[in-house]
Amino acid sequence: MILIEAVCLAVGAFVLLMPKEDPDLDELVNKKIKFEYQTETDRVVTYGLAVPRPNIDIQLLTVNDWSRPGIKVDSIDKIVVHYLGNPETTAQQNHDYFQSLKNLQNTYMSANYVVGTNGEIIQCVPDGEVAWASNKANYYSISIENCHLDSSGQFTEATYWSDVHLVAYLTEKYSLDRDDIIRHYDVTGKDCPKWYVEHPDEWEQFKDDVMTYRQECEQAQRNMIDELLHPDDDDETEEDILRKYLDGLNAETDVQLETSDQNLWDELKKRAEKAAAKDDAENEG
Ligand SMILES: [Zn+2]
């Protein structure tokens, strides 16, 4: 009897720790963005992201009250940028610290992502799950912690551009705008991220850089689709076109196509083949 009760308690605790199902939120997290444009001769509607996913090292924390409570957020309305306030620590060290809170049990702290001074991005908590970073905004945002080299809190170039690429990717994925990119300071008045609280002009520049990168990605995707539908160089393979597309994104970090983009790519190939067959038939006729 005692054994059965213990098993029931263990199962109950496990169920409690599991993230709760929420079909609406899951749909939001997994949804594919509609991408629609007009070429000279075609109207193309596809589903896929224009901004490629930056290279993200996924190291999810174990579900635990102190750093990954396993609570679903109410919505994803904001991206909140932070700085760690702990100079010269690495993204890996901060990830490992969040993970250790499961045992230390002395503070509630984490973030969905941590970006290191070499531009490396580690994901600690999935999008759509609460991380302990941004106070009340934890329930309606995704948080990004940033490493830095000294107490000024200034980001390195590599950290800055990884943040630009990550925030561009997330804002497109969750249909967010420039105004949805906020600092911890904008939630609570806390001096975080320090450098961008003290240099508001550079904060505005950061948001501009995110939006400019998104536009560049959209333009590059348009060019890529256009070229697939209307190839002007017979020697160019689809891989060449894809490579040129990725190179054209000005991404200084490694970028990769997501599953949804792979579907897009397959769909584009089909369209291009159909268009080519149609051209051949017309030329022969
Ligand atoms: Zn903060």
Whole-number Å distance, alpha carbon 128 to ligand 1 midpoint, is: 19
Structural domain including 256 reads: 40-50+216-284
The predicted pLDDT at position 242 comes to: 67
Which pLDDT band holds residue 47 (cuts at 50, 70, 90)? low
| pLDDT at 217 exceeding the cut of 90 | no
Count up the domains in the chain and report the number.
2
Q: Is residue 44 domain-shared with residue 166, that is, in the same domain?
A: no
The residue type at 201: D
Whole-number Å distance, alpha carbon 190 to ligand 1 midpoint, is: 7
Which pLDDT band holds residue 248 (cuts at 50, 70, 90)? low
Whole-number Å distance, alpha carbon 20 to ligand 1 midpoint, is: 26
Q: 């000294």: which residue's tokens? A: 150
Q: Is residue 171 domain-shared with residue 69, that is, in the same domain?
A: yes
Overall average pLDDT of the 32-53 stretch: 57
The predicted pLDDT at position 43 comes to: 53
The predicted pLDDT at position 227 comes to: 77
Whole-number Å distance, alpha carbon 192 to ligand 1 midpoint, is: 5
Which pLDDT band holds residue 256 (cuts at 50, 70, 90)? very low
Whole-number Å distance, alpha carbon 256 to ligand 1 midpoint, is: 29
Overall average pLDDT of the 139-150 stretch: 97
Structure tokens at 93: 């060290």
The predicted pLDDT at position 182 comes to: 98
DSSP code string of 120-159? -EEE-S-TTB--TTSGGGGGSEEEEEE--SSTT-PPPHHH
Residues contacting residue 49 through CB under 8 Å, at least 6 positions apart: 32, 33, 35, 169, 172, 173, 258, 260, 261
The predicted pLDDT at position 252 comes to: 41
Distance CA 275, CA 191 (A): 56
CATH number, position 157: 3.40.80.10
* Range of weakest confidence among 108-122, 220-234, 235-249: 235-249
Whole-number Å distance, alpha carbon 172 to ligand 1 midpoint, is: 23
Per-chain mean pLDDT for the chain? 79
Of 171 and 266, the one with more pLDDT? 171
Q: Is residue 230 domain-shared with residue 141, that is, in the same domain?
A: no
The predicted pLDDT at position 1 comes to: 42
DSSP code string of 161-224? HHHHHHHHHHHHHTT--GGGEEEHHHHH---TTHHHHH-HHHHHHHHHHHHHHHHHHHHHHHHH
Whole-number Å distance, alpha carbon 233 to ligand 1 midpoint, is: 50
The predicted pLDDT at position 247 comes to: 65
| pLDDT at 21 exceeding the cut of 80 | no
Q: Is residue 195 domain-shared with residue 221, that is, in the same domain?
A: no
Q: Is residue 121 domain-shared with residue 223, that is, in the same domain?
A: no
Does the residue 237 lie in any domain? Answer: yes
Tens digits of residue pLDDT in 110-143? 999 999 999 999 999 999 999 999 999 999 999 9
For residue 96, give Cα distances in angstroms to 21, 54, 143, 151, 251.
27, 21, 17, 22, 28
Q: Is residue 44 domain-shared with residue 71, that is, in the same domain?
A: no
Structure tokens at 256: 């990769």
Does the residue 26 lie in any domain? Answer: no
| pLDDT at 193 exceeding the cut of 60 | yes
Does the residue 98 lie in any domain? Answer: yes
Q: Is residue 183 domain-shared with residue 108, that is, in the same domain?
A: yes
Alpha-carbon torsion, ordered 214, 218, 221, 226, to 10 deg: -160
Whole-number Å distance, alpha carbon 168 to ligand 1 midpoint, is: 20
The predicted pLDDT at position 198 comes to: 98
Whole-number Å distance, alpha carbon 80 to ligand 1 midpoint, is: 8
Q: Is residue 137 domain-shared with residue 272, that is, in the same domain?
A: no
Of 54 and 256, the one with more pLDDT? 54
Whole-number Å distance, alpha carbon 41 to ligand 1 midpoint, is: 49
Alpha-carbon torsion, ordered 23, 35, 57, 240, to 10 deg: 150
